[in-house]
């Protein structure tokens, strides 16, 4: 699901025709509130602002429509992948073959707090969670304020900042499997790791319950402000996908890149930020291939000069651009 490699399978040799059929099927099976588009540019849906288009893009309004979309993809043998707010994704220039499903509207964006508990749809923005938690006097979720993702993406990535991570404050998740079955899972059953939770390789988060502790609103506000200014002192404002690499055990990736003398290195319109070595920024003209070249360059130098294997934190999806494009 997360690494949608190829849309063309032996059972499905004609991608364009299958996409058209699927597109018509989706329009017939889903409610009119569900948004379904062909050839949707993904650059505008990712914070790095690079990459090609999705063959079919679906924004289901309801769990039922999501279930229909999965069913039709399954029947047509078409691959699909999930998109949150696109803040941890690098889409290759050839775009994504198959279907991109994004839970950014309808039933999936509600946020509600009661006592120390907060429930949120998978498409809700993390900023919205932090703001609602502050309004409800719930402390412990302040760190989510500056992470530009959705609840679903933060569960998949176990996103974290300033010493806290998503699973630290998670009670349970409502999730759908590939066949469309929905169940509630307690956080302790999901076995998250550092910037990863394998459960979401084949489950779609629909909504989540978080638990904080009740605290005075002024205290929460002060903590949010402190975290926010710390973030903006160390992080570039230009389009990026946040940290490109996971931190190796021995050294933070940003420090390693700085020590290798690579800050400021540029390929095409992509540059390693002068401000933070683990952020690659787009000057507005970057292609995905520029960012990928920078990633390779850094990995090679880290391996050759420091014997460190860097792993990407950013998820790389989609196809290479074909030579004639
Ligand atoms: C400026 C900037 C700052 C950042 N700071 C931080 C930070 O401090 N800490 C941090 O951890 N990250 C940070 N990030 C990275 C990113 O914001 C997080 O990883 C975030 O959780 C990704 O959420 P998203 O909704 O954008 O997911 P996407 O990037 O859209 O997707 C990420 C993964 O989640 C999967 N996914 C999306 N929705 C669902 C769902 N409903 N169910 C299952 N899987 C799903 C996708 O298929 C994909 O595999 C930063 C990024 C930027 C651009």
Q: 212 alpha carbon to ligand 1 midpoint, in Å?
A: 21
When pLDDT is averaged across residues 274-279 and rounded to a whole number, the result is 97
Q: Which residue is closest in CA terms to ligand 1's atom 50?
A: 242
pLDDT score of 4 more than 50: no
pLDDT score of 71 more than 60: yes
- Residues sharing a CB contact under 8 Å with residue 222, sequence separation 6 or more, in sequence order: none
β-sheet bridge partners, residue 83: 102
109-233 is classed CATH 3.30.465.10? yes
Domain boundaries, the chain: 15-106, 109-233, 239-317
Give the model's confidence band at 285: pLDDT under 50 very low, under 70 low, under 90 confident, else very high.
Answer: very high
Tell me the CA end-to-end span of the chain in Å, nearest whole number. Answer: 26
What pLDDT score does 17 carry?
A: 87
Q: How many CA atoms lie within 13 A of 287 on its CB side?
A: 12
Comparing CA positions, the residue from 325, 294, 322, 289 lying closest to residue 310 is 294
What pLDDT score does 1 carry?
A: 38
What pLDDT score does 14 carry?
A: 63
Q: Which residue is closest in CA terms to ligand 1's atom 51?
A: 242
Q: Which residue is closest in CA terms to ligand 1's atom 47?
A: 82
What pLDDT score does 7 carry?
A: 39
Contact between 323 and 94 (Cβ < 8 Å): no
**Could you say which architecture CATH assigns to the domain 15-106?**
2-Layer Sandwich (3.30)
Instruction: Please choose from 42, 45, 67, 87 the residue to mutate so as to test ligand 1's pocket, defined by most ligand atoms within 8 A of CB.
Output: 87
Contact between 133 and 141 (Cβ < 8 Å): yes
φ and ψ at 225, to 5 degrees? -65, -40
pLDDT tens track for 112-135: 999 999 999 999 999 999 999 999
pLDDT score of 102 more than 60: yes
pLDDT score of 263 more than 90: yes
- Name which residue leads in pLDDT, 271 or 325: 271
Contact between 49 and 239 (Cβ < 8 Å): yes
Q: 126 alpha carbon to ligand 1 midpoint, in Å?
A: 10
When pLDDT is averaged across residues 238-246 and rounded to a whole number, the result is 97
When pLDDT is averaged across residues 184-195 and rounded to a whole number, the result is 95
Q: How is residue 164 written in tokens?
A: 């806290």
When pLDDT is averaged across residues 232-239 and rounded to a whole number, the result is 94
Q: 239-317 has which CATH code? A: 3.90.78.10
What pLDDT score does 324 carry?
A: 60
Q: 312 alpha carbon to ligand 1 midpoint, in Å?
A: 13
pLDDT score of 85 more than 70: yes
Comparing CA positions, the residue from 157, 62, 150 lying closest to residue 106 is 62
Ligand 1 surroundings by CB, under 6 angstroms: 2, 47, 81-89, 103, 122, 147-150, 152-154, 156-157, 159-161, 200, 204-205, 240-242, 315
φ and ψ at 44, to 5 degrees? -75, -10
């Amino acid at each position: 699901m997360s690494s949608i490699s190829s849309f063309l399978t032996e059972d499905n040799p004609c991608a364009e025709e299958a996409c058209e059929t699927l597109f018509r099927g989706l329009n017939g099976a889903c409610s009119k509130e569900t948004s379904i588009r062909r050839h949707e540019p993904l650059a505008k849906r990712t914070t790095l602002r690079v990459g090609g288009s999705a063959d079919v893009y679906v924004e289901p309004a309801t769990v039922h429509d999501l279930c229909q979309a999965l069913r039709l993809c399954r029947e047509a043998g078409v691959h699909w992948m999930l998109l949150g707010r696109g803040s941890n994704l690098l889409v290759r220039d050839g775009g994504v073959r198959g279907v991109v499903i994004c839970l950014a509207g309808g039933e999936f964006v509600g946020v509600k707090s009661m006592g120390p508990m907060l429930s949120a749809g998978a498409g809700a923005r993390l900023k919205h969670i932090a703001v609602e938690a502050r309004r409800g006097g719930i402390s412990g979720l302040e760190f989510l304020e500056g992470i530009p993702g959705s609840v679903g993406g933060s569960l998949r990535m176990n996103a974290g900042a300033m010493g806290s991570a998503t699973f630290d404050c998670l009670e349970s998740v409502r999730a759908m499997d590939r066949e469309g079955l929905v169940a509630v899972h307690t956080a302790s059953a999901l076995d998250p790791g550092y910037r990863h939770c394998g459960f979401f390789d084949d489950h779609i988060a629909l909504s989540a319950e978080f638990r904080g502790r009740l605290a005075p609103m002024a205290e929460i506000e002060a903590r949010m402000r402190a975290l926010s200014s710390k973030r903006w002192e160390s992080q570039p404002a230009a389009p990026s996908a946040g940290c490109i690499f996971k931190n190796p055990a021995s050294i933070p990736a940003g420090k390693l890149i700085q020590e290798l003398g690579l800050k400021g290195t540029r390929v095409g319109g992509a540059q390693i930020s002068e401000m933070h070595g683990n952020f690659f920024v787009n000057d507005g003209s970057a292609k995905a291939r520029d960012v990928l070249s920078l990633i390779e360059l850094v990995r090679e130098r880290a391996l050759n000069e420091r014997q460190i294997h860097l792993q990407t934190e950013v998820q790389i999806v989609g196809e290479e651009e074909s030579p004639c494009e």
